[in-house]
Structure formats: C-alpha cells, structure tokens
Amino acid sequence: MKRVVVFVSLLVAVSLMLAGCGGGKAANHLEAIKEAGVIKVGTSADYPPFESVDESGNKVGFDIDLMTEIAKRLGVELEWVDMPFDSLIAAVQEGKIDVSISAFNYSEERDQTVDFSEAYYTSEDAFTVADTFAGSIVNPEDVAAFKVGVQTGTTQDGWLTDTLVAGGKLPEENLFRYDRVDQAMMDLKNGRIDVMMSDYIPAQALVEQLGGLNIVYHGVLSTGPMNIVLPEGDKELAGAINEIIKQLQD
C-alpha cells in the first residue's frame, strides 16, 4: 500500500511539473510574443535611409532603429526577416511574421487586409532621372511620356497604375516594376528606364550614394504618413506599439 501511495504521489508531482513547464495558451498575440521572447519583423532592406544593409551586412536605417527601440521597450529580442516588399503584407496576414516596417504608407486597399500603427513619419514622392535626361517633367503626369520604373507593391506603383496606365496615358509596357528600388535606380543610371518614382527621402539617399542622378520633382502624390503594418484586429499589439511611438514622439 505504501508503494502505491508513493507511486501516486510521484505521478501527481510529475503531472504538476509538466503542466508548469508547458504553460497555458497565450491570451493574445502580444502575450505570445512576450512569452516567446522575440518579435519577428519583416522588412525589405533596400530603401535607405529607412532600411538597408551596410558593408558589414548589418541592417541600418531609421525604420531599423525605430523597431529596435520598440522591441527593447516591449522587452523582447528582435528577429529580422528580409523579403521582397510586395511579400510583406501577405506575410503579416499569414502569420509568418508578427509585424512589418518598411516605409509603408497607409492605403484603403491595404487596410482591407491588415491594420496600421499610428504614423511615425510623413513622406513625399519623388521622380528621379539620370544626369543625361533630356526630357522635361513640370507636372507629375508628364512622366507618362517616358519609361518609368517603380518598386512593386508600393503606393507609387498604385498611383502610376491607377492614374496613368488605367487612364490610357502611360502604356503598360513602359511601366517597369522592380522587387528592389536599388535595382531600379541602377537601371535608371544605366539608361534602361528614364524616370524612377519612389519616396523622396530614399531617392535623396540613393542619388547621393550612386551619383549621376537628379531628383526633378517631389511632392505628395501617393504617399503621406508612414506606419507599421500589423495583423488585422490585433488590438493588444497595436496598443502597445502605438504607446511606444507616442512616448518616442513626446
């Protein structure tokens, strides 16, 4: 009998120990991140000065620093997942990453599938050309007369497609979409395209970095506030990140 009591006691102890190790299911996505001790963040590191890779292979830039500080204040490690820009929203939707930061602008189309943090920056659009460009761009729609490059899935892509291509002003075959904006800028410099549309600040950085390029126009066409992309309906994570953004702005 004594052996039975001891055996039962051991079973109870082991069961309690296993229950303690296994823990319960996290109450929400934010708690799951904190329990895992890591937040997986997607980016497309080809857009200086917001996100790029330096000579040592380290990710650098404004978005990189911002997300690093957010992870620190959440009390978790930061794991970067670098992928093409047009894959990032789907990756958030599918739970492959927790959030994404990559100079994203809010749009109604994007808002149908994901949510956005409060804005942390306001951007403008730019048209960049090579030093040898002999054309004239006075008004934004003047770019319809040229071969135009743009990064796939950006708000600039949407503006060119909806405003110029759909309007019959820019032939579809003269719109060149790229996975990476630095690839597009190199094609621009080498004469494969005539004009590149992008965010203004990254355009400035690449003009300085690559040389042989000029910005001929900048203003708000497709851009505006920049936000972090969040899973749809994720109120707890959104609340925590928005609070940190407010703290930093203050």
Please compute Rg for the chain using Cα positions: 24
The separation between CA 204 and the C-alpha centre of its own chain, rounded to angstroms, equals: 19
Contact 120, 110 (CB under 8 A): no
The whole-number pLDDT of residue 141 equals: 96
What gap in Å lies between CA 65 and CA 59, rounded to an integer?
A: 9
Angle between helices 235-249 and 29-36 (to 10 degrees): 70
CB atoms within 10 A of CB 20: 8
Mean pLDDT per segment of 10 residues, for the chain of length 250 residues? Answer: 43 44 76 98 95 95 98 98 96 97 91 95 94 94 97 94 96 96 93 96 92 95 92 97 97
Main-chain phi, psi angles of 116, to 5 degrees: -130, 145
Write out pLDDT tens, residues 173-213. 999 999 998 899 999 999 999 999 999 999 999 999 999 99
**Is 2 exposed, middle or buried, given 0-12, 13-18 or 19+ CB atoms closer than 10 A?**
exposed
Q: What pTM was computed for the model?
A: 0.75
The whole-number pLDDT of residue 4 equals: 40
